[in-house]
């Protein structure tokens, strides 16, 4: 990824969260993701390879090139894909705002949970459009933290959640970018733009989802922003920690949690 900082940090727990997130949301986000045999696909900003494994599995006969700016993330991604037994992915270090590929190089471009961390997502989309073949497709998936609501809601939980949103903004990102997927793609010059919301909702009747989404994805995601939020004075440590405990409380049998992702597709 390219940008001024990654609000969740680069530790082992964050890598585990990303893998949990990819696996837990694969059906929701990727039931309609797939590329034909022989297609060349650029995965822009592969991170630790959480989405790469899914791409390789769903498009086993496509040629996938996955790029990221971080050598450490690329090493983890390569190990994840090799460990899963896939051989249709090649990795390369690159900044997605300055790609080392000629124009019209790829049949398809895939971007997932990347634009939210960039100070200039438009620059990335313009560059991705440059390397996409005429008639080729781009897929962009982003969340929107403004779509989140939960029960029980407490002031501390909202303070922790808003601390994540504001800390990411201070680092140059936009955790509310999901609502901007359509206008960003259109402004970048793509056509045939379509965006579909992908909603996740858990309550006491869905204990497995509450565990896989709230406990394993949402709360660790917010916890990853603790240091940045406290350092920037967005929340004191005690309030932030109380908020994390209250967010965990929404996964209990009498709790509820709702969040929306946005998946955009378009063509050059």
Q: Which residues contact 162 (CB under 8 A, 6 or more apart)?
A: 234
Instruction: Tell me the pLDDT of the chain averaged across its residues.
Output: 92
Q: Say if residue 15's pLDDT is above 90.
A: no
12-267 in CATH: which number?
3.40.50.150
Element spanning 228, H or E: helix 226-231
Tokens of 22: 């990819």
Q: Kindly report which listed range (11-20, 81-90, 225-234) carries the lowest average pLDDT score.
A: 11-20
The band of 21, judged by pLDDT with boundaries at 50, 70 and 90, is low
The band of 16, judged by pLDDT with boundaries at 50, 70 and 90, is low
CA gap 168, 70 in Å, rounded: 19
CA gap 164, 109 in Å, rounded: 29
Q: Say if residue 142's pLDDT is above 60.
A: yes
**Tokens 């010059």 map to which residue?**
189
Domain ranges within the chain, ordered by starting residue: 12-267
Neighbours of 189 (CB within 10 A): 12
Q: Is the peptide bond between 113 and the residue preceding it cis, with omega within 30 degrees of 0? A: no
How large a percentage of the chain has pLDDT more than 90? Answer: 87
pLDDT of residue 18: 46
36-64 confidence digits (pLDDT tens): 999 999 999 999 999 999 999 999 999 99
CA gap 142, 105 in Å, rounded: 24
CA gap 23, 199 in Å, rounded: 16
Residue 102's SS3 state is coil
93-104 confidence digits (pLDDT tens): 999 999 999 999
pLDDT of residue 27: 86
Q: Say if residue 137's pLDDT is above 50.
A: yes
Do strands 256-267 and 191-203 pair parallel, antiparallel, or not at all (unpaired)? antiparallel
pLDDT of residue 243: 98
């Amino acid at each position: 990824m390219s940008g001024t900082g990654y609000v969740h940090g680069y530790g082992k727990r964050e890598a585990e969260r990303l893998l949990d997130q990819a696996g837990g949301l694969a059906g929701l986000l990727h039931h309609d993701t797939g590329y034909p045999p022989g297609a060349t696909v650029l995965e822009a900003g592969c991170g630790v390879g959480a989405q790469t494994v899914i791409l390789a599995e769903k498009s086993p006969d496509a040629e996938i090139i996955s790029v990221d700016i971080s050598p450490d993330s690329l090493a983890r991604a390569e190990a994840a894909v090799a460990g899963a037994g896939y051989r249709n992915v090649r990795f390369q270090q690159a900044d997605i705002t300055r790609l080392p590929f000629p124009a019209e190089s790829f049949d398809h471009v895939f971007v997932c949970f990347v634009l939210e961390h960039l100070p200039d997502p438009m620059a990335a989309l313009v560059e991705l459009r440059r390397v996409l073949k005429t008639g080729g497709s781009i897929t962009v998936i982003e969340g929107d933290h403004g779509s989140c609501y939960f029960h029980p809601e407490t002031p501390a939980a909202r303070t922790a959640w808003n601390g994540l949103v504001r800390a990411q903004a201070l680092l140059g990102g936009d955790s509310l970018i999901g609502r901007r997927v359509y206008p960003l793609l259109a402004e970048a010059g793509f056509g045939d733009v379509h965006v579909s919301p992908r909603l996740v909702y858990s309550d006491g009747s869905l204990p497995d989802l509450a565990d896989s989404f709230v406990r394993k994805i949402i709360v660790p995601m917010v916890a990853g922003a603790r240091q940045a939020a406290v350092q920037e004075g967005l929340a004191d440590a005690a309030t932030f920690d109380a908020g994390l405990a209250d967010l965990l409380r929404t996964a209990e049998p009498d709790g509820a949690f709702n969040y929306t992702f946005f998946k955009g597709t378009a063509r050059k």
